[in-house]
Amino acid sequence: MKLTDFNVLTFDCYGTLIDWESGIYTALKPLLQPGDITLSRDAVLEIYARHESDQQKLTPAMIYSDLLAVVHRRLAREFSIDMPEEAHLRFGASVPDWPAFADSASSLQYLKKYYQLVILSNVDRVSFAGSNKRLAVEFDAIYTAQDVGSYKPDLANFHYMLGKLEARGVKPGAILHTAQSLFHDHVPAKQVGLTSAWIDRRHDQGGWGATMPAPDGSYDFRFTSMAELVKAHQEDLRAAS
């Protein structure tokens, strides 16, 4: 199996293309500092992951920016910190401020020459529009949790995407689902029969960070960055020439 066997790359965005852990942690600092929270960054992100995942199951149709504000309120309660409503809303609106990984925009611009590029993300349309500016590429299709009414790892999100792509003439065998989160993406991708590439952004770190654990997640390709995926694609092209 080679990367050149596919002509559509479907992407998770946050954690894969956008450095959501840095974005989340930076946006949480106004909450952490007044309470003198001494937990490590990863410990904070793991607590965040628990609250976010639970809230997504409780309110699957809630717009992501609103859901983030609820998660911020939950964290404030857990840490016994009083915060004004404005602080919760500010965190909810922080997604466009989250930085892209350094290799994301250039990698996407290269891959755009060879693939259709599609987003399947646990986000709302307005928030993603802010992130898209950082990625500097025009995606062929964008499917958000707001469009579906649920959040990954719900299979409904993948069925929605596959249905939309089939209407565009794309068969599942042409798709390589490309994502960082085993929990949100690789486990459900396998359940719907997709081939997947793991962008293991946390390869040099322990734990699960801002995603829930998925120790049994499987995948077909593994790269530690988008730049590494691009390099592998270039090698496949050279081998075929």
Antiparallel, parallel or unpaired: β 195-199 and 175-179: parallel
Percent of the chain exceeding pLDDT 90 equals 93
Is 185 catalytic? The answer is no
Of 5, 12, 185, 200, which is the active-site residue? 12
Which part of the chain has CATH 3.40.50.1000?
Answer: 3-19+100-240
The CATH code of domain 22-97 reads 1.10.150.750
Tens-digit pLDDT profile for residues 141-198: 999 999 999 999 999 999 999 999 999 999 999 999 999 999 999 999 999 999 999 9
Give me the pLDDT at residue 104, please: 98
* Low-confidence winner among 92-106, 127-141, 214-228 (lowest mean pLDDT): 214-228
Half-sphere exposure of residue 19: CA atoms within 13 angstroms, side-chain side: 15
DSSP string, 191-241: HTT-EEEEE-TTTTS-S-TTS---TT---SEEESSHHHHHHHHHHHHHHH-
Q: Give the pLDDT band of residue 18 (cuts 50, 70, 90).
A: very high
Query: Residue 35 above 90 pLDDT?
Result: no
Give me the pLDDT at residue 90, please: 97
* Low-confidence winner among 6-10, 102-106, 174-178, 237-241 (lowest mean pLDDT): 237-241
Which part of the chain has CATH 1.10.150.750?
Answer: 22-97
pTM of the shown model: 0.94
Domain 3-19+100-240 has CATH 3.30.1360.70: no
- Average pLDDT in the 90-106 region? 98
Closest to 132 measured CA to CA, from 119, 145, 122? 119
- Average pLDDT in the 197-217 region? 90
